[in-house]
Amino acid sequence: MYVQLPFDDLKVNPNEKKRVAYFYDADVGNYAYGAGHPMKPHRIRMAHSLIMNYGLYKKMEIYRAKPATKQEMCQFHTDEYIDFLSRVTPDNLDLFAKEQIKFNVGDDCPVFDGLFEYCGISGGGSMEGAARLNRGKCDIAINYAGGLHHAKKSEASGFCYLNDIVLGIIELLRYHPRVLYVDIDVHHGDGVEEAFYTTDRVMTASFHKYGEFFPGTGELRDIGVGKGKHHAVNVPLRDGIDDATFKSIFEPVIGKIMEWYQPSAVVLQCGGDSLSGDKLGCFNLSMSGHANCVNYMKSFGVPLMVLGGGGYTMRNVARTWAFESGLLNNVILPSELPYNEYYEYYGPDYKLDVRPSNMYNANSPEFLNKILTNIIANLEHTQHAPSVQMNHVPRDAEDLGDEEEDTREAIDTKGGSQQARDEAIQPVNEFYDDEDKDVGERDVSVQPTKSELTAEEEKELEAMNQDE
């Protein structure tokens, strides 16, 4: 079943017109987790600088989203956790000794200045991206400040506090009967999987390193429970996976999901720690190998939200996200980096590329064949996708008994949040009701700031681009 595909140059269709909405808040690069912490929001600013200096602002709409409010955050997270995030600061930390333990805030997830504002920016971008996709105001939404997939309902985890992805998907579910979440971060997308583990309205597919690696979840046999059974896909990989191998597992898995599950919206988490040479990662993807996932996902023409995520070798994350932004706008960016305020980070070559190393690929064809065969067999249960609606789908007699038990267990042990929302859901025909906004729905009627550049800067960039 597993066949190694050739890895060719990436192709775009310059005549294809996609409306791309790009979300960026200039404040995001100012937040710092603390000296020596591997997570650096500055990389988002570096990526933005490349994106602007390559002239992509001429191709897409650039927005600064309203920060997510406490009320919006509580659509997934608990009130007391969000209340804690909004009140704790490095100065009053002593007053929250008990809460720090309870909410897992400390070493990996430190309390830093502006933590709550940082969460608001990340969540606001993903929620507004989803709202614009819902209203048909764009085909693709990008938010590199988002993608923080480890955050739990009432717990910080793995450098993530607010799960902007879950909030964005909840927004998409107001209009979309089925949403697919795809995660190419080197770590398992545990927070998102857990949030939707008991529902068939969201399918999660995570490709990650498994085995003595954070967060320790994401086994092949974890496929969801209750109504969500067969709607969680886990692709546990070993060290050193390269471009051709990743493509050869990614494309058939995603291809089958698109064919059988038929999602009406897709969220793609583009964690950059799966790149070769990442400080924390152990994969061997080049920039093209990573970007191939973005290009392949885009090829289905389904409304797409593209998010950031991990990524700890900043120059490579910035390069890759800039290149991928180009692809999403049907442009292959030239390899000569334009001059930008962080130019010195890209020496000695100053090129737009992340090259693979000669590290050993521990993913044998036999191992991948086992994974692929198993996943395809599971996915067959989702084959009648168009009938997977809000209404209950009749199942096999033997499945019925398990389901209630599974679901009860899942609500107790996992988040179970979507289960509660599904039970309180409106009928199918209300999905596309555009007239009156739901309570709590993101309002996108206000046009946010067009561009982060002044008219002067835009002219300067135009002139620079014409010189070439």
Name the residue nearer to Zn ion (CB basis): 48 or 188.
188
Name the residue nearer to Zn ion (CB basis): 186 or 287.
186
Residue whose beta carbon is closest to Zn ion: 310
185 is in an annotated binding site: yes
* Interface region with Zn ion, contact rule CB under 5 A, candidates 58-66, 254-262, 271-279, 448-456: 271-279
Name the residue nearer to Zn ion (CB basis): 103 or 159.
159
Of 3-22, which residues contact Zn ion (CB under 5 A)? none
Q: Is 231 a catalytic residue?
A: no
Please state the closest distance from residue 150 (CB atom) to Zn ion, in A.
8
Please state the closest distance from residue 161 (CB atom) to Zn ion, in A.
15
Please state the closest distance from residue 189 (CB atom) to Zn ion, in A.
9
Q: Binding residue for Zn ion (CB under 5 A) from 55, 224, 310, 415?
A: 310
158 is in an annotated binding site: yes
Number of residues that bind Zn ion (CB under 5 A): 5
One-letter amino acid of 313: T
The token pair that represents 47 in the structure block: 């990526």
How big is the chain by its Cα radius of gyration, in Å? Answer: 21
The token pair that represents 139 in the structure block: 């085909």
Name the residue nearer to Zn ion (CB basis): 72 or 278.
278
| Catalytic entry in 150, 176, 188, 231 | 150
Of 429-458, which residues contact Zn ion (CB under 5 A)? none
Determine, following the binding rule CB under 5 A, whether residue 187 of this chain makes contact with Zn ion. yes
Q: Are 115 and 88 in contact (CB under 8 A)?
A: yes
Determine, following the binding rule CB under 5 A, whether residue 290 of this chain makes contact with Zn ion. no
Determine, following the binding rule CB under 5 A, whether residue 256 of this chain makes contact with Zn ion. no
Determine, following the binding rule CB under 5 A, whether residue 273 of this chain makes contact with Zn ion. yes
Determine, following the binding rule CB under 5 A, whether residue 67 of this chain makes contact with Zn ion. no
Site string for Zn ion, 215-254 (x = CB under 5 A): ----------------------------------------
27 is in an annotated binding site: no
* Interface region with Zn ion, contact rule CB under 5 A, candidates 140-148, 219-227, 310-318, 406-414: 310-318
* Interface region with Zn ion, contact rule CB under 5 A, candidates 68-76, 173-181, 246-254, 272-280: 272-280
* H, E, C per residue of the chain: CCCCCCCCCCCCCCCCCCCEEEECCCCHHHCCCCCCCCCCCHHHHHHHHHHHHCCHHHCCEEECCCCCCHHHHCCCCCHHHHHHHHHCCCCCHHHHHHHHHHCCCCCCCCCCCCHHHHHHHHHHHHHHHHHHHHCCCCCEEEECCCCCCCCECCECECCECCCHHHHHHHHHCCCCCCEEEEECCCCCCHHHHHHCCCCCCEEEEEEEECCCCCCCCCCCCCCCCHHHCCCEEEEEECCCCCHHHHHHHHHHHHHHHHHHCCCCEEEEECCHHHECCCCCCCCCECHHHHHHHHHHHHCCCCCEEEECCCCCCHHHHHHHHHHHHHHHCCCCCCCECCCCCCHHHHCCCCECCCCCCCCCCCCCHHHHHHHHHHHHHHHHHHCCHHHCCCCCCCCCHHHHHHHHHHHHHHHHHCCCHHHHHHHCCCCHHHCCCCCCCCCCCCCCCCCCCCCCCCHHHHHHHHHHHHHC
Q: Are 351 and 335 in contact (CB under 8 A)?
A: yes
Of 80-119, which residues contact Zn ion (CB under 5 A)? none
187 is in an annotated binding site: yes
* Interface region with Zn ion, contact rule CB under 5 A, candidates 115-123, 256-264, 305-313, 380-388: 305-313
77 is in an annotated binding site: no
Please state the closest distance from residue 248 (CB atom) to Zn ion, in A.
22
Please state the closest distance from residue 147 (CB atom) to Zn ion, in A.
9
Q: Binding residue for Zn ion (CB under 5 A) from 185, 193, 200, 324?
A: 185
273 is in an annotated binding site: yes
Please state the closest distance from residue 310 (CB atom) to Zn ion, in A.
3
Q: Binding residue for Zn ion (CB under 5 A) from 271, 303, 338, 415?
A: 271
Name the residue nearer to Zn ion (CB basis): 115 or 317.
317
- Residue ranges binding Zn ion (CB under 5 A): 185, 187, 271, 273, 310
Task: Specify binding-site residues for substrate.
Answer: 108, 158, 312
Which residues are catalytic, by number? 150
